[in-house]
Chain A
């Protein structure tokens, strides 16, 4: 039996379900408001707003 993993978007409160097993630190996008979210915990599944881009970020 599969268990649905779901948490609410901290920005718009819409339910967010990752397409696959989430990993801590992973970045997801809310399909409702498009905000970037970071998985801060997998058990229990928790989401926070992803950090804003910083000056030294890049490739």
Chain B
């Protein structure tokens, strides 16, 4: 059985995963995508790879490599479709809407005037997010029309073309934290709260992880969310709305978990490694049969 781990830099998460694979007696080939050239008409050594685990911090590298590897017939975790849906907030919203799962109200527009209308149809405060981005970058809470107009003008003038997509989300008055559930192989395995004094509750922005109960509601909703994007592995971020209960905020296809192992007491990298080995084993048997 051959498993490749795609990466562009090795963070704590990747080392923890390597340790987990090693403890299972499975050797994983590390592939630094910064050094790889693909020939779309010749899989070469990739023909012998049963599964590629994508752990790239760069979305561009992930989508490029996984697209080519799937073309070669390599089982990728996550799939290109899942990466595409999870990495784009609008695509995530559409997948959640198709599955009729609860989420904050969203309006989308592509022009400044329509953007303002989108924002005001939700009502202040509203949260503006880039459709592609992570770690809370360029997420803005807009409290009034003056701020909305300023941000739209800045986006129009200074931003990339992608910044012209106005993705406006209802601001949920959460209780100083959001929730994150780790889903492995369709099963919710652990949950944390991410608490911060700041309204952006992202651990990359200084929020601290706290233990929370993985209730049956939280479990069911997270698993449904993961299923709606076809994720083998993902972290589901949820908001606790005082009026509407649990709302799904975002899904992360290449989850970070270093702060969640001690907090939850769950060996997340071990569970990920076990699931990946199981998938690779099934692929390997299918090829051998």
B-binding residues in A (CB < 8 A): 23-27, 38, 50-51, 53-59
Residues of A within 8 A of B57 (CB): 57-59
The residue of chain B having its C-beta at the shortest distance from the C-beta of A58 within the complex is B134
B143 at the interface (CB under 8 A from A): no
Query: Is B134's CB under 8 angstroms from A57's CB?
Result: yes
Q: Complex formed: what's the CA distance from A54 to B8 in Å? A: 12
Residues of A within 8 A of B8 (CB): 25
Query: Is A58's CB under 8 angstroms from B135's CB?
Result: yes
Query: Is B235's CB under 8 angstroms from A58's CB?
Result: no
Question: How many contacts between A and B, using CB within 8 angstroms?
Answer: 51
Query: Is A26's CB under 8 angstroms from B15's CB?
Result: yes
What does DSSP make chain A's interface, helix, strand, loop or mixed?
loop
Query: Is B58's CB under 8 angstroms from A59's CB?
Result: no
Q: Given A24-B32, A25-B32, A54-B58 in contact, is the A59-B10 Cβ separation under 8 Å? A: no
Query: Is A56's CB under 8 angstroms from B59's CB?
Result: yes
A-binding residues in B (CB < 8 A): 7-11, 15, 18, 30, 32, 57-60, 132-135, 137, 160, 235, 252-256
Known contacts A25-B8, A57-B135; 10 additional CB pairs below 8 A are: A23-B15, A23-B30, A24-B32, A26-B15, A27-B10, A56-B58, A58-B57, A58-B252, A58-B254, A59-B254
Query: Is A58's CB under 8 angstroms from B59's CB?
Result: yes
Residues of A within 8 A of B256 (CB): 59
Nearest CB of chain A from residue B12's CB, rounded to whole Å:
8
Nearest CB of chain A from residue B63's CB, rounded to whole Å:
9
Q: List 24 A–B pairs whose Cβ atoms lie within 8 Å, in order of A's numbering.
A: A23-B18, A24-B32, A25-B7, A25-B9, A25-B32, A26-B9, A26-B15, A27-B9, A27-B10, A27-B11, A53-B135, A54-B58, A55-B133, A56-B59, A56-B60, A57-B57, A57-B59, A58-B133, A58-B252, A58-B254, A59-B134, A59-B252, A59-B254, A59-B256
Q: Complex formed: what's the CA distance from A53 to B160 in Å? A: 17
The residue of chain A having its C-beta at the shortest distance from the C-beta of B10 within the complex is A26
Q: Given A23-B15, A26-B10, A26-B15 in contact, is the A56-B132 Cβ separation under 8 Å? A: yes
Nearest CB of chain B from residue A34's CB, rounded to whole Å:
15
Residues of A within 8 A of B9 (CB): 25-27, 38, 50-51
Nearest CB of chain B from residue A27's CB, rounded to whole Å:
5
The residue of chain B having its C-beta at the shortest distance from the C-beta of A56 within the complex is B59
